[in-house]
Amino acid sequence: MTESFPTAGPAALLPNGFVDTLPPAAAHEQAVIDGLVRALTLNGYDRVKPPLVEFEDSLLSGPGAALAQSTFRLMDPISQRMMGIRADMTVQVARIALNRLARAQRPLRLCYAGQVLRVRGSQLRPERQFAQVGAELIGPRSATADAEVIGLAIEALQAIGVPNLSLDLTLPTLVPMLLSTVRYEAEALERLRHAIDRKDTAGVAATAGPLGDSLVPLLTAAGPWQAAFEAIADLAFAEAPARAIERLREVVERVRTTWPEVALTLDFTENRGFEYQTGVAFTAFARGVRGELGRGGRYIAQRSVGANDDGEPATGFSLFLDSILRAVPEPRTVAKLYLPAGIPAARARALRAEGHVTVAGLEPVDDPLIEADRLGCGHVLIDDVIRPVPG
């Protein structure tokens, strides 16, 4: 049966981007989170739980700097220092790995789940608060590690029933590598970067100069992985870009071998949203579902602001529950069992042990069937027999 709830009055209005999650959606979301975390832990990723709020200089260090404009800030009344409410949990897990778990054996596999808060939503994700689940692999630099993390994201999403998965892989550092080989005037470089972001091949050809013969084919090669690699097969690159492309090829080969049912596409020049990635990165989608399900990739985990070290190589991903909930099957409605007042507690416990969801009557009623229907129960216990409630 369908449960209904009264409409809230003006006093219950919430700010844009924030919502109350009501029954049964709240329970469904938690079940999805539990399913994702279970898939991660079964792969040897240990769960950590960072705090919701940290000092600003820690939260926005290293990769966290890319989220500075998305982070809510507040003053700590005790220390009188500025704090930030996390907009992403990746940088927190990196801090834990390089500080609290600095002596733990590498590779270090960690996972997490929690709420994040952002100053503003986007066109595709208007929500400003949403649940995030993810995993980080700290220590290894290899393509095997990149492929493991991508495969882990696929396995977790498939474990909760997400169909028709596709991954878009990219190299956020490739364009900066190429641009660093030519000296452009500041204004010309800005126009070129803008043209690349807009996938404007004519604009790139007009402003790229000697890089035009490489950048234009890279832009137009975006698409299914086989065709994308074939489209750039005859291009000659300097050592660093060539090595990055070969690394991407190795990762793609590993992923497609293990997950042949997942569609893989490549976009060699995409870097928006991957500001702190330093290698192969990816975005997960499900066909017909609005918004990205998650994204991740290689980065450098930083210890803290001003730390005198180079950090550690890492790769990981974050999954976004607001989009994932649009991709998974609708929750099954559980028919609750109404227990009229006076049912012994031991009998009620036995019924719950059998898997029934029980609703206890607090006072005797004339007709348990009517009361069960009023309370949204699909069954009622009468004379120790479970009977359906007429529709």
Whole-number Å distance between alpha carbons of 247 and 243 = 6
Phi, psi of 91 (to 5 degrees): -65, -30
Contact yes or no for 222/266 (Cβ under 8 A): yes
Q: List the structure tokens of 104.
A: 């733990």
Contact yes or no for 281/175 (Cβ under 8 A): no
The whole-number average pLDDT for the span 347-376 is 96
Dihedral sign for Cα atoms in the order 270, 272, 277, 283: negative
Closest Cα partner for 152 from 16, 319, 269? Answer: 319
Q: Provide the pLDDT for residue 309.
A: 63
Q: Provide the pLDDT for residue 68.
A: 85
Whole-number Å distance between alpha carbons of 45 and 380 = 43
Q: Provide the pLDDT for residue 357.
A: 97
Q: 163: part of which helix (H) or strand (E)?
A: none
* CB contact set of 241 (below 8 Å; sequence gap of 6+): 174, 177, 178
The whole-number average pLDDT for the span 369-383 is 96
Whole-number Å distance between alpha carbons of 309 and 154 = 33
The whole-number average pLDDT for the span 214-225 is 94
Residues in the chain, overall count? 391
What order of strands is seen across the sheet that includes strand 337-339? 358-360, 337-339, 379-382, 385-388
List the single range of 88-102, 117-131, 202-216, 300-314 with lowest mean pLDDT.
300-314
Q: Is the pLDDT of residue 120 over 80?
A: yes
* CB contact set of 371 (below 8 Å; sequence gap of 6+): 338, 340, 361, 365
Per-residue pLDDT of 24-53, as tens digits, reads 899 999 999 999 999 999 999 999 999 999
Per-residue pLDDT of 243-258, as tens digits, reads 999 999 999 999 999 9
DSSP state, residue 120: S
pTM score: 0.89
Burial class (CB in 10 A: 0-12, 13-18, 19+), 188: middle
- The CA dihedral of 336, 337, 342, 346, to the nearest 10 degrees, is -100
Q: Provide the pLDDT for residue 271.
A: 82
- The CA dihedral of 258, 260, 265, 271, to the nearest 10 degrees, is -20
**pLDDT band at residue 110 using 50, 70 and 90 as cut-offs:** very high
Q: Provide the pLDDT for residue 2.
A: 43
Give the orientation angle of helix 25-42 with respect to helix 143-159, to 10 degrees.
140
Side-chain-side CA neighbours of residue 13 (13 Å): 4
Radius of gyration of the chain (CA): 26
Number of H helices, E strands in the chain: 13, 16
Q: 16: part of which helix (H) or strand (E)?
A: none
Closest Cα partner for 251 from 141, 174, 94? Answer: 141
Per-residue pLDDT of 278-312, as tens digits, reads 999 999 999 999 889 999 999 998 765 445 567 89
